[in-house]
Amino acid sequence: MERISWNQYFMAQSQLLSLRSTCTRLMVGATVVRDKRIIAGGYNGSVSGGDHCVDKGCYVVDNHCIRTIHAEINALLQCAKFGVPTEGAEIYVTHFPCVHCSKALIQAGIKKVYYDTDYKNHPYALELFEQAGIEVEQVELDEVVLDRNYQEKLQLTTDLLRRLEEVEVDHEQLIEMIEKTRKLYTPTKP
């Protein structure tokens, strides 16, 4: 069995962290890594003990939810809280960082930013990263690597569709099932 790459491993960690998000607008996760070791993680959500967007709704001002602390900031704050230096570390984020998070990452000494999904990639954030000499790389998570039974599921589905075709299931229904199957087995980004 082939092991997944480090980039896929750390991006998968960020995706897993995003599942803890309490933001109803966008679920984001971030993993801070140094020397191939996870030193912190964060997801976007409210202040500890405060109201959460999932419970009270978003508190939107100027098209931004001010109730939410971004995943990158939560990860950096975790490092600060426990005295873990971030100088020279890397960060894996599910979505491209906003301008404010980009500035915080630069100030924290992050040397490389990996992100999965483009999200309002602000030109000023890219400019800031370039000025600071921080490399930015898109690493799309291949979710197939996380499913050890992917090939078997795909083969079973293909076999079932062939059997349905053989027993002459309504052509329109069969086409609809094939389209649903393609969508299910084709990775998509939000």
Angle (CA) 48-95-84 rounded to 5° is 50
Span 142-169, pLDDT tens digits: 877 776 677 777 777 887 888 877 887 7
176 is catalytic: no
| Rounded Cα distance, 94 and 44, in Å | 11
Please give the Cα distance from 80 to 99 (Å, whole number).
20
Half-sphere exposure of 116 (CA within 13 A, CB side): 28
Q: pTM score, two decimals? A: 0.82
User: Of 2, 72, 87, 165, which residue is the catalytic one?
Assistant: 72
CB-based contact 84:39 (threshold 8 Å): yes
Q: Which residue has the tokens 């931004």?
A: 64
Confidence at 182, pLDDT banded by 50, 70, 90: confident
